[in-house]
Amino acid sequence: MTVDGLFRFNQKNCERGLEIKKLPDEIIWEGGFIRVRNQNRVNYKFHLLVKEDEDSKKNLNPSSVESTDCEGFLLSNIAETVNNSPGDLVVTYCIKHKTCIIRRDAFGLIPVYYFHLPDSFLAFSTSLPSLLRIDGVLDHLTINTKRIIRYLTFRADSLVDYDSETFFCQINSVLPAHQIIVTPSDIITKSWVDFNPDQWSQLTSLTEFANVFQNLFHNSVANSVNGDIVGSHLSGGMDSSSISSFARKLFPLKEFHTFYGAPNTQFASENEYAQAVADHIGSIHHEIAPQHNDFDLLTKYTSIYGHPETMILSPALQGSLLEAAHSHRCTTLLIGHDGDSIVGNGFDYLIELFRKRKWAELKELLAQRTQNPSFLRLFKNWNTLDEDEKLQAVYHDFFGRRFQEVAVTASIKELFTLFTDVKRNFNISTLHFLKRGLNSIIHKFLDKPIPNSLVKASARNSNREKSKLNKTLSESLSKNLEEKYMHSFSSVYNAQSITINEEFFALGNHYNMQASLPFFNKELFELCMSVPSKLKLGDGIGRQHFREAMKGSLPEQVRTRRDKAVFGSYGRLAARRLFRDAEGLLQNEENQVWDFIDKVEFNKIVKILHDDNQKPLTYAISQFHILRTISLAVWFDWLVSLNFKNETKKNSKP
pLDDT tens per residue across span 159-183: 899 999 999 999 999 999 999 999 9
State the amino acid at position 272 in one-letter form: E
Helix or strand or coil: residue 230?
A: strand
Q: pLDDT averaged over the chain?
A: 85
Q: Which residues contact 443 (CB under 8 A, 6 or more apart)?
A: 449
pLDDT-wise least confident of 16-20, 99-103, 404-408, 596-600: 16-20
Residues 14, 38: contact at Cβ < 8 Å? no
pLDDT of residue 638: 97
What is the Cα–Cα distance from 184 to 97, expressed in whole angstroms?
9
- Residue 80 predicted with pLDDT over 80: no
Query: What ranges make up the beta strands (E) of 12-87?
Result: 20-23, 26-29, 32-37, 45-51, 57-58
Give 278-336 as a DSSP string. HHHHT-EEEEEPPPS-HHHHHHHHHHHHSS----SS-THHHHHHHHHHHHTT-SEEE--
Report the chain's terminal Cα–Cα distance, integer Å. Answer: 35
Mean pLDDT of 433-443: 55
Question: Does residue 621 register a pLDDT over 80?
Answer: yes
Share of the chain above pLDDT 90, in %: 60
Cα 44 from Cα 37, distance rounded (Å): 12
Specify whether the CB–CB gap between 505 and 109 falls below 8 A. Answer: yes
Reported as a single tens digit per residue, the pLDDT across 273-316 is 999 999 999 999 999 999 899 999 999 999 999 999 998 889 99
pLDDT of residue 59: 42
Give the residue with greater pLDDT, 378 vs 186. 186
Q: What is the mean pLDDT of residues 223-248?
A: 95
- How far is residue 465's CA from residue 627's CA, in Å, rounded to a whole number? 26
Please write the tens of the pLDDT for every residue from 461-480.
766 554 455 678 999 999 88
Rg (CA), the chain: 26
- Sign of the Cα torsion 314, 318, 323, 326 reads negative
